[in-house]
Structure 1
């Protein structure tokens, strides 16, 4: 109580006298205009008629500091604290000038004096805490803020500001403690909740991070940054439902079709193609569509083997769009896959007319010709492309086309001729090895694939091929694992390589490690039936029949859409047999 009375008696509110008021007002106007030298002159005139006025002296010191004259600023402010030792604003301005002059010890003295004058005023505490932070004395800064909390029980700015500052400085433990203290006093403080969420996320406490964002959104439900962050966290936690709730609100508020594309990409990165498609299709049905939204929807539909829907989405891209050419090509490919051969060929030929000599387009045109019942024309198209530019993708397409037409020997001749013409190129050797394996020539496949490594020792697919083949045949697991791990070191997080590693573990009988590798492979390539088949086998071995059944059923769904992905050819029948052998409750019957 005595402190409160003393503070009230201090001349903190003393302003300029009536005699100097005009000069003070002019000084204020000049300062607002950035004319600080002129403002200082006006204040000196005010002090001529109001000598020793603490308010005017403090203002003069401030104007001097604004023009960088710290010596004169310090001189004027020293007069203030000498003549008026209980004048709080003078103490604070003096402390700020001393800090700017890099005299933290003297500034600290003035700040502690200011705290004694007004123990319930946060400003001095906060500046003193900042002083300690700048000196890397984080513990002392915490002590000052704790002192403020005792003096002013309902105040949270100290805890919040120190928590934010400590977060920036990487002192996560103290930052979390300060932010938690702020939230104890105001559970809905949005700034503290956001900062605490970021800390939790960085520490891997994803659920706690999402909870913080959810609490912050109760106060600020349309905050775009928080909705985006909460949606991403929900996805990382495996909840597409919660993620959709956050992202749907984000999109509804934004009204920006391009944002829908970004949200769809987030879902795709989480291997949730279905939700990505729902987001894009919802925008297409509304009024906020755009060429990029339609094109992106086409890509996702195509990825999910929805070829007719993909073609429809690509058709929405107008000719005036920069995406028009790509959309026309992709539409042609999808129509070919959907069995609409005449229209597909028309579109692909139009694309090739616009980009003559584009070998990728020639490969796609040849595949469409083959699907449309013109295999000879497909082969001729690819041979012509090979003459002009013997690229690996064209060679592989030619060999595959010949093999599908029952002309495997001719395919091998083409490949051997390519190896002879391009002895330093690993691509013909690689394709030759794959064709030999498809024909059942395991020894020849291994020999040619090893020759790939002689030409290019770091050829990751060849390393993986050999490793997987050795494991599949139950031969030399040590070498198989060494080769596949080398492939993964070259191309980390490659689903097919992780599948090989998991299969090596499986064939060795190390089923827990097989599950770990295969589950990660399935996350990376969720629409690869071979990986899902292997994962189901591994789950069954570790007595997780329900998850085995789920993996096998997903593999069957994919094989129904793309039977050409079966490996071996009777893979679908083999999976169905495995499902029938599961217990009734596990297989879902």
Structure 2
């Protein structure tokens, strides 16, 4: 009987529990239905949800937005109406620059989430992108007021102050962000940007590196490093950084665009074209890319494609002066003068005060025989362009006057044309004209214009057209020779300069270029001979004696080198280069280190921000066994020229002699990381082996 009652009791208890459970579920459903936000769910209290939320916040405070996306995706799989997940997504979209998506999410939440720290942060980031700086700061500050432990908001405020050019405040907030969250890579990236804008390359580099130590995928730090490398002419290092970003983010257009622009800048035109086409596959409406393509095609002598792409650029940027100007000069290079004038006329309607447009119009009128119009355009150009362009305009005047037989005016203009091309000096140059050769000078002007635009194939063709009429024109031959140098065709260049010297042996410029060509071609004795001829023609030119001294120094003729460097100082008493070369020569030969130090200090006084001069000063101290002073000056040299392997090698040697093996080893490795083509490469390799052996012995 007892067992039967027990059984009934259990059955009754089971039914009661079942009913209570059913009622509880109904109540919860009613509660959910009547809650102000239908996004609230009983599932939000499950441990898995809390864990995901914590992980999302953990990644957000470190600026790891891609991980936040992953966690939010999991959260929304569990609860599609999770307000918190959408708030996190909003901040993350803003963090990766997708402000449109962030704004869209904020709009969708305006009725259900009116006041939260994440919402204010997201609004601040969006306002920052709109350059509403004060409003953005206010929103971020409100986010911090609601959540004091908010490194991301501090970092955003820091970046806003960078844009406001308030660098001290920017540094303050970014450092606070890094202190609150040492793993927030974007805070160090911000500090890198802040220091770079103030010209502090060393601190900028350190902070970008720190950001990448924290997160190898901190792409903006890589972009910053690339900017530094470009400034230091470390182009291959910059290309490597851009490619690392693109590998991770193939559709990151800014990285691809910067890379394409860099390829254009350093003359890798095929790569620029390839990278630009990759961008257009992602988005065909990016106007600057057509500009890069047009310029790249022009440098490869493909003016048909240059014209096509600049027209596409104009389709997207109808009011662009640059677009119509480039179309005009591309058409000029193609020989279509009429269409060129039409395009330049449209450019003039957009901006009538551009000197280069006046020059282009002048050259077209010159070739067409409208000499008065050409002269008017050149006079306008002279008033609209900087004084640094006067040599170029004066050589155009020279050829225009020669075409008209105005010999006296041409001589006056020629005197003022020195430097229109690097190395050109009109000294001792005598130009002749007569009616049979007059038209050649219009072709020469076009050739000069093409050369200045780096269209070397077009330059050579136009020079040939001029030389067909006037075979002995020294300026035409000179421009043609310079074009061959830029095309690395040194034998052809040599031929042009030799011909000029035969025609006019006292013309200075070709002697300079012959000397430089002979050095490139490793014919040192011939180079020395040309420099000596130049010194005879112009005994007051200190730079010639500097070049002769450098040749003697490389040949190990120290006495002759020192004599030439002293002649440099006689002619140019305030030349830091002269003092520096003397000091370095004394240091390397160890003949008179006290005198070497005197000269090195004088050079540093004249040029305190020159890396090579501080390197010499440090090296003289090294030779005098003053390793502390050597390290001090060589460190300063490294800050100014971090991509010099020789300076790194010298600093490594100073550390080694100062018994700092680890720093010495780092610097020798740094020297080889920069390049393996420098004078001390073998010594660096041997020092690495020696120090590694010594460190191993110490550990044993």
Question: Over alpha carbons, which structure has the higher Rg?
Answer: 1
